[in-house]
Amino acid sequence: MKNYVLIPGAWHGAWAWQPVAQRLRAAGHRALTLTMPGIDDGDTTVRLTDAIAHITNTIRRYDLRDVVLVAHSWGGYPATGAAHEVPDRIAEVVYVSAVVPAAGVSQLDELPAEMGAFVGATVAAEGVVPIDLASLQAVLMPGEPEQVQRTVHELLVPHPGHYFTDALDLPPVTEIGLTARYVLAERDIALAKPGAEFAARIGVTPQPVPGGHEAMITHPDEVAEALL
């Protein structure tokens, strides 16, 4: 039995990983889905270090070993930080259509210039970054049924601004001897850079799964199979 710890991306909570988690449990493994601190409608105070601590505290509280740490999208940041904190408990880090952080580079820095300027201004003005339905439909879930898009959008909450502006001063997890993989949704257009570019940071070729950026919701069978 392995212990899967599943970290969501920006705006998402633990609910986003539940369809995949159910399939991992059915295969005989433990699966914990986490919501990062501050994902509660407007928290402007939390920092990336808070998210990292939440993951490591969960791993330690349950005394988890042989952990497969799974990250989606922005979740690559806190997952990478947590892997550096408890490397002896980590069996593997799996990035699923996720950012593989570069040392000293924040999520904001990874964005294209125009988008980065918009997000930076929003953080400065509001302290959080919301996402509207039109953006979800065009970028996160294009081509999905409208009712599914609307339901997912209603579950999203504004993302704490410091989560976008904080960076990690750490190398890739593979440089400290950990195993890592990269699972890439074939129709993902939401990543700030091509998934293959992020995968190259850990020296691997992406493993494809069907769907777009929200593949863990729209294609949980295939994503679970890739993790297994």
CATH number, position 47:
3.40.50.1820
* pLDDT confidence of residue 42: 81
Examine the pLDDT at 140 and tell me if it is beyond 90: yes
Examine the pLDDT at 40 and tell me if it is beyond 90: no
* pLDDT confidence of residue 29: 98
Examine the pLDDT at 157 and tell me if it is beyond 90: yes
Rounded average pLDDT over 148-167: 97
Rounded average pLDDT over 89-93: 98
Q: Which amino acid is at 101?
A: P
Task: Provide the mean pLDDT of the chain.
Answer: 97
Examine the pLDDT at 67 and tell me if it is beyond 90: yes
Rounded average pLDDT over 22-50: 96
Portion of the chain with pLDDT greater than 70, in percent = 100
Q: Which of 49, 44, 87 is nearest to 178 (CA)?
A: 87
- How many independent structural domains does the chain possess? 1
DSSP E strands: which ranges in 105-186?
128-129, 159-160, 180-185
Rounded average pLDDT over 26-46: 95
Rounded average pLDDT over 125-147: 97
* pLDDT confidence of residue 83: 98
Per-residue CA distances from 19 to 15, 31, 33, 123, 134 (Å):
8, 11, 10, 31, 24
* pLDDT confidence of residue 10: 97
Q: Which residue has the tokens 């081509």?
A: 143
H/E element, 211: none
Residue span of the structural domain in which 117 resides: 3-227
Rounded average pLDDT over 90-108: 98
* pLDDT confidence of residue 41: 81
- Nearest-angstrom CA–CA distance, 124 and 144: 33
Please answer whether residues 8 and 216 qualify as being in contact, where contact means their C-beta atoms are separated by less than 8 angstroms. Answer: no
